[in-house]
Amino acid sequence: MENTKHDTRQANRRGSRHLRVGLEISPAGVRVASMWAVDQPSVQSARLVEPILARIDLATRPVLVEAFADPRVTRGTFRKDLGHSYGVEQSGVVHVSVPFDDLRQLAEVRIRVLDASNAGLGATEPVGVAALFDSPPDSVRVIGDVDTASLRKHPDWLKVAAALVPADPGRFEIYLDRAGEYRWRFRRASGECVADSGQGYASREACENDVRWVRSHAPSSPVVSLDLLEGTRC
């Protein structure tokens, strides 16, 4: 029984991480309203009940379908003997998940949104909902879609990229040169050398001291643009 639950959990997960994309739905269609990265898989719901449907494709392949209550409808909290109260707005936001394992997959995202309020679909399983997007019946209204280009235009994209692209940690190396002196150099993770000690040290301790000094002072050191000073040649 426990194994069955575990298998179900695994089967419903999509990607190792996901983008959470806020989509504003209005009479003009769909536009990206917000975006952030989540370090968790998306979960594919087995039954889709709500009328606003979204299909997320990566490289033209559907990877997730989601359903939402109509975000243009505001429902007041339940009150005894009164029930809910309702209001209708011009626009509203739903948040879709774009699951991925590799950042390169985000190069070809497409999110399509349909309104099936009048279709009377009931609860529908994901494969059936995904197929609706290929040839929507007359009872289903196409609201709009967004793609990678739309995501990239949004200001949140830069924050997402900064959060997702792993920082290049680089590394300091201490080594002995041909003269038997100690030196240090700094390499990117790719192996490229971008800085070195410029001198040999007679002792390892002196070399380590300068590595410590560079590590502690470099982050707050100013950049002096000698190249921009007229007539300066170094």
Contacts of 37 (CB under 8 A, 6+ apart): 17, 18, 19, 20, 160, 163, 164
Return the range that interacts with another protein (CB under 8 A); candidates 92-100, 193-201, 209-217, 225-233.
92-100
Return the range that interacts with another protein (CB under 8 A); candidates 8-16, 103-111, 160-168, 200-208.
8-16
Q: Is 82 in the site for another protein (CB under 8 A)?
A: yes
* Shortest CB 149 distance to another protein, Å: 24
CA 106 – CA 78 distance, rounded (Å)? 40
Residue 158 CA, chain-centre distance (Å), reads 10
Structure tokens at 42: 């998306």
* Shortest CB 57 distance to another protein, Å: 20
CA 15 – CA 38 distance, rounded (Å)? 11
The order of strands in the sheet holding 61-68 is 61-68, 52-58, 109-115, 141-147
Q: Is 12 in the site for another protein (CB under 8 A)?
A: yes
What SS3 class is residue 130? helix
* Shortest CB 211 distance to another protein, Å: 46
* Shortest CB 225 distance to another protein, Å: 46
Q: Do 174 and 184 form a contact (C-beta atoms < 8 A)?
A: yes
Residue with Cβ nearer another protein (53 or 207): 53
For the segment 14-43, give every residue that binds another protein (CB under 8 A): 43
Structure tokens at 100: 């991925």
H or E element that contains 162:
helix 156-164
Among 28, 59, 69, 194, binds another protein (CB under 8 A): 69
Residue with Cβ nearer another protein (83 or 170): 83
Residue with Cβ nearer another protein (31 or 185): 31
Structure tokens at 123: 């609860």
* Shortest CB 103 distance to another protein, Å: 25
Q: Is 181 in the site for another protein (CB under 8 A)?
A: no
Return the range that interacts with another protein (CB under 8 A); candidates 68-76, 170-178, 206-214, 222-230.
68-76
Residue 30 CA, chain-centre distance (Å), reads 19
CA 52 – CA 74 distance, rounded (Å)? 14
Q: Is 156 in the site for another protein (CB under 8 A)?
A: no
Q: Is 117 in the site for another protein (CB under 8 A)?
A: no
Residues of the shown chain interacting with another protein in the complex, contacts defined by CB under 8 A:
5, 8-9, 12, 43, 45-50, 52, 68-78, 80-84, 89, 92-95, 120-124
